[in-house]
Chains A and B, each alone.
Chain A
Amino acid sequence: MKPLEPEKWNRKRAAHLLVRSGFGATPAQIDAAVAQSLEKTVDVLFQIPKNVEPPKWITPGVAFKPDFRGMNALTDDERRRLRRLYQRESAQNARNLGIWWIQRMITSPCPLQEKMALFWHGHFATSIRKVKVPYMMYKQNQTFREHAFGNFQKLVTAVSQDPAMLVYLDNTRSKAGSPNENYARELMELFTLGEGHYTEEDIKASARAFTGWQMQPTRYEFINNTRNHDSGKKTFLGQTGNFDGNDIIRIILEQEQSSKFMVSKLWNFFAYENPSTKIIDELAQTFRDNKYELKPLLTAIFTSNAFYSKKAMRTQIKSPAQWLAGSCMALGIKDPDPNLSANAMRTLGQELFNPPNVKGWDDGYSWITTASLTARYNLANQLINQRKRIKPTEDKKRRRFGGYIVDTADVLPWNKRNRLEEARSHLEYVVYQPPLAKEDRAKIDSFFDTLNPVSDWTDADVRNILHVMMSTPQYQLT
């Protein structure tokens, strides 16, 4: 891949890199990246934070399956009540999980790790609607984080042994003699090769190979149950042997196709849709040369000239996660209101941990419907004008609200308010990051020209300006 020439490293491209490899970027972060080289900036993207604070409800007990039947000391009624309590708690935890993740996207010191986790969540799509147990979804999420930009073969293996996935695609019910083909099929069709690069016979053979990869009966843990494994001879993608799941994964990744398949998915996600075969072939070569290590591949993508080309700049429709986390970052919201966060993701069509089906989200144009675009405009207004909730006290039962969550003096500091041009370009930087096209910039300019002198701007004026800037088609793109 032709790398970006060092002298082309500037604010615009730095903003593009930070926003695409993460969820947003502040002017300070962009300026710091420009001051460093491209190489150094890319290198820093991969620094994994030591500790990820888990959600509060993650306690040692949640790793075990509740055994209501075994609670002999309880009456039927007590057991029923306990079960109901457990279900209510599960529902709460499930909701909390999505809120927790959005918050991580906003605050993580390694946004790329969260961005990749989001990519893997869409790629290895698994839904809590079938899995039911929030802990399993959390565990899978941590697996995505752990292997975010590690080795793809290791990741595929971890996913093939991931409890949530074992449940979601039924491998935990697959046994010698009655193999379930669900996982084997999707592994090839959606996770590694793409349709048309294997036969129905390959699916049958690999389903047999994966028999015995199950979930433990009492804990949400993987077990290789050899008693249920079909150890017979299988022929898979032209090779014959007494294969198990590891062999299948190895053989799949021996196919050049799997490197191309993954590279084009990653390129679509980070850069733009429908790249040339030349780009795919070159990057796929890099991927194979590095034994499916993701870091060298991602580095090649982020340092390539094509990643900064016209086709890539400000052409991507923000996913709801990108929209929400990015909006919070732009507005300085570290800890968005949980209700707003959950409601926004549902309304905008990307309920985390609940993708529509095993294909994940469609991305791109499909994020935008008349309803979701209207909701984006209205949610921006809500984010900007939301007030802090004050917990109800004994004497004052009603929920009360305090000051605004968004501090306009943070978003537009006083020292940026000397001249209109200064205030405007700072706000554009905060809200849009990579600069707008000339034509769109002119539109924004004409809006600013109608405003009072900067020195007269009130708090409400700045909020209104932000509302206008974020309720635009341009804001939906990055």
Chain B
Amino acid sequence: MKRREFIYTTAWGGTIGLSAPSLFADSTSKAEPIMVVIQLAGGNDGLNTVVPINNDHYYAARPKLGLKPAETLKINESTGLHKNLTGMMTLFESGQLALVEGVGYPNPNRSHFRSTEIWHTGSDANKVESYGWLGRYFDTYCADQPASVGLTIGKQNPQAFAAAVPTGVTFNDPRKLQVKKARGNQNMMMEMMGIEEDDDSVAGDSIGSLSGGGNIPRSGNSDPLSFLEKTATEANISAQQIDAILKKVKPEHQFPGTRFAQELKIVSQLIRGGMPSKVYYLSRGGFDTHTNQVGAHAQLLKEVGDALLAFNNELEKTGQNQRVVVMVYSEFGRRVQENASGGTDHGVAAPVFVMGGPVKGGFYGKRPGMAPGQLIRGDIAHTTDYRSVYATLLEKHMGVDSKPILLKKFQPLEFI
């Protein structure tokens, strides 16, 4: 029975018993670093998010949509945040929010799908990569980790997770992670489903002590059947873990009722409960504002800003936020010139937000010029390659060499 030889040397199988009260104590800040990656899908209008309030070109191009200085939360003479970003403003003032301006890549692609693919795979614009940048991170640095090293709340694993060894746990609804078991002897049913249960391991190990993640090896060269059995076992374990954590670890602060905020609430519970995930991936859609942008965009930004603030508060108050860096990006920004339907069309460069305890707040990158001569086909040109942002997260927060992941060397920025 060679294919049964994978074992969980310590905790997980056993801790599913969940008896010890110390189990879900908030793990310490010394524990493993965590990245939370958030995509604002559809192409966020960066210019109406981080507003260049002293720029005449901006107001000339946007007679209807341009936000007057008074309609923004003023940071300095040249910059205001959209007035609904009060949450972000609080974070900025507390020095935990970095604004990286003009982020993009050479030869920009204005298709959602292709540009998303470029950001997800960390590729050049003219190259198609099979694996995602986070997938390469898992392959290169997390080979001994369980599949839940990457966790997505959404319908499917993002392309960023695509890896040589399939990795990542995804759920839209945590309840859906549970297998509906057939009737019959419990052990027999588990056995039939290929789920290995480790009855012998000692219950009571703190989840926090699992700082290296679980101990289920992710092996790429097993035969298909043992691979399937391993996945079934991992699915069961992560479902139990998630279920147990969500039941035991309750948020200490109020989160807004929006779906996005509720997802971040779950992430905060999982982080505090010691889920062995190093990367969380979330996405909020609706940013493709071609028509009547004003109300919709304001609503979206409020939702995002408020949720991020609640998330950061929760982690800060529970002593977790030194572990966690959140990156918020969009596959592209939007055209400088507003269109005739009260909206904006697909653009190129946009700001990226990085937030968290380890972040040195402030402005990074360089604001792209907006004079007609500086634009590329009507779009602000990028000044910082998006992979420099990735490199900063990987090298300064996750503590790994970013070259194998980003396929070449990119200069990290100073925001961590």
Contact = CB atoms under 8 A, between A and B. Distances in A.
Interface of A: 127, 129-130, 315-317, 346-347, 349, 356-359, 362, 365-366, 368-371, 373-375, 377-378, 381, 439-440, 443, 446-447, 450, 464, 467-468, 471-474, 476-477
17 contacts: A130-B113, A315-B223, A316-B224, A346-B156, A347-B155, A357-B117, A362-B162, A369-B168, A369-B170, A369-B231, A370-B231, A370-B234, A371-B156, A443-B191, A446-B188, A468-B192, A471-B179
B60 interface: no
Contacts of B159: 356-357
Contacts of A365: 165-166, 220, 224, 227
A373 B128 contact: no
Contacts of B192: 443, 447, 468, 471-472
B235 A370 contact: yes
B157 interface: yes
Interface string B124-161: 00001010000000000000000110000001110100
A477 B179 CA distance: 19
Contact of A369 (B113, B155, B166): B166
B41 interface: no
B399 interface: no
B212 interface: no
B180 A378 contact: yes
- Among all A-B residue pairs, the 6 with the closest Cβ atoms: A473-B228, A370-B235, A473-B194, A371-B170, A467-B182, A468-B182
B157 A369 contact: yes
Given A357-B128, A359-B130, A447-B192, A377 B184 contact: no
Given A468-B189, A473-B193, 19 more contacts: A127-B113, A129-B113, A316-B224, A356-B159, A362-B130, A368-B166, A369-B167, A370-B168, A370-B177, A370-B238, A374-B176, A374-B177, A374-B239, A377-B180, A377-B193, A447-B192, A473-B225, A474-B225, A477-B224
B235 A371 contact: yes
B185 interface: yes
A357 B127 CA distance: 12
B100 interface: no
B183 interface: yes
B157 A471 contact: no
Contact of B156 (A349, A378, A476): A349
Contacts of A446: 188
B169 interface: yes
A359 B231 contact: no
Contacts of B231: 368-370, 373
Interface in B70-115: 111, 113
B112 to A, nearest CB: 8
Contacts of A369: 147, 157, 166-170, 231
A450 B185 contact: yes
Contacts, number: 116
A450 B184 contact: yes
Given A371-B235, A464-B184, A472 B166 contact: no
Contact of A468 (B165, B171, B184): B184
A367 to B, nearest CB: 8
Contacts of A377: 179-180, 193
A317 B231 CA distance: 13
A477 B232 CA distance: 14
B280 to A, nearest CB: 15
A473 B235 contact: no
A148 B220 CA distance: 33
B317 to A, nearest CB: 31
B224 A370 contact: no
Contacts of A450: 184-185, 188
Nearest to A367: B166
B45 interface: no
B229 interface: yes
Interface string B216-247: 00001001110111011011001100000000
B214 to A, nearest CB: 12
B378 to A, nearest CB: 18
A302 B167 CA distance: 34
Contact of B188 (A347, A362, A447): A447
Contacts of A464: 182-184
Which of A130, A377, A477 has the most B CB atoms < 10 Å from its CB?
A377
A378 B179 contact: yes
Contacts of A468: 182, 184, 189, 192
A366 B225 CA distance: 14
Contacts of A316: 224
Given A127-B113, A477-B224, A477-B228, A371 B193 contact: no
Contact of A130 (B111, B128, B194): B111
Contact of A317 (B169, B184, B220, B224): B224
Nearest to A129: B113
A366 B1 CA distance: 25
Nearest to B121: A357
A127 B231 CA distance: 29
Which of B111, B128, B234 has the most A CB atoms < 10 Å from its CB?
B128
Nearest to A190: B128
Nearest to A316: B224
Contacts of A356: 159
A374 B235 contact: yes
B182 to A, nearest CB: 4
Contacts of B227: 365, 368
A122 to B, nearest CB: 14
Contacts of A373: 228, 231-232, 235
Contacts of B239: 370, 374
Contact of B182 (A317, A349, A443, A471): A471
A275 B159 CA distance: 28
A107 B168 CA distance: 35
A362 B161 CA distance: 13
B157 A358 contact: no
